[in-house]
Amino acid sequence: MDNPRIFLPVARRAALEAGRYLLQGLNQKKRVAFKGQVDLVTSFDRKSEEMIYSRLGQAFPDHSFLAEEEIHQERASDYLWLVDPLDGTTNYAHGLPVFCVSIALAFRNEIILGLVYDPSREELYTATRGQGAYLNGKPIRVSKTRKLGRSLLATGFPYDVRTSQDNNLDHFASFAVRAQAIRRLGSAALDLCYVACGRFDGYWEKKLKPWDLAAGALLVEEAGGRVSNLEGEKFNLSSPHIVASNGYIHRSMLDILSPGLVK
């Protein structure tokens, strides 16, 4: 495996380009389509995806590529790019400036590079396996909050929240009376970045896709936090459920999410 840092400059340029394009379109009229009852996609999602694929594809033509909307290129390569070209589409469609671009690179199914760009705040989060996590080039660390009752948490709800009983509302209610507070930003990638830099103490969510989680999960780990599935097992790209924390409150979170398990 090559040093993952060699891939960072191209990924950074791709994220900055796409993010700035999205920011310019934030207050423009948008063509919105529905992938489900509450799952949106806009023409800006697709254009951002094309921009990122063009830059990464030119630089690394042998790599595989998996993005949220339309582009899926499977090649005989150990490297796979996972891209969410616009995480927070519902926010974006309503003109709410809480969204980002998320790019990750996996080598043989292990995440080795993660990058999240929030153009509204001009915040670029980067991490490479074994080499730390950074916000605009400065090292970041998770919080030191040790008690769940003093913790600020984040979560989200699945797109089938209206039709499925497994919709996270029960867990939200359980945490609401145990944590200091809970926030719902509408962007899984930013939720994970905020755990990595200590703004949130913990985060959980269910029914997500690899491109939602890959970059942010690495950022949390490289910032000194812990990432797992709901059973406390090591997080991997095939898991649709995630728990991320500063490490100190992780077991307390798992006790609520999967009571009775030995962790």
Instruction: Convert the pLDDT of each residue in 139-157 to its tens digit.
Output: 999 999 999 999 999 999 8
Residue 195's nearest CA partner among 250, 254, 119, 147 is 250
Burial bucket for residue 14 (CB in 10 Å: 0-12, 13-18, 19+): buried
Other CB atoms within a 10 A radius of the CB of residue 29 amount to 6
| Tokens at 58, concatenated | 């030119």
CA distance 84 to 193: 14
Number of residues in the chain: 263
Share of the chain above pLDDT 70, in %: 90
Does residue 156 contact residue 184 with C-beta atoms inside 8 Å? yes
**Position 97: which residue type?**
P
Around Cβ 105, how many Cβ atoms within 10 Å?
27
Digit-coded pLDDT (tens) for 46-78: 889 999 999 999 999 999 999 876 777 788 899
Query: What does the pLDDT read at residue 72?
Result: 77
Q: Which residue has the higher pLDDT, 176 or 35?
A: 176
> Angle at which helices 188-196 and 210-222 pack, to 10 degrees?
0
Is the confidence at residue 114, as pLDDT, over 70? Answer: yes
Predicted model pTM: 0.92
Reply yes or no on whether the pLDDT at 118 is more than 80: yes
DSSP lists the bridge partners of residue 191 as: none
Domain annotation for the chain: domains and CATH numbers? 4-139 (3.30.540.10), 148-257 (3.40.190.80)
Q: What's the pLDDT band for 165 if we cut at 50, 70, 90? A: low
The phi and psi torsions of 237 (rounded to 5 degrees) equal: -65, -20
* Whether pLDDT at 92 is above 60: yes
In eight-state DSSP terms, residue 245 is E
Report how far residue 11's alpha carbon sits from residue 63's, in angstroms, rounded to the nearest whole number: 13
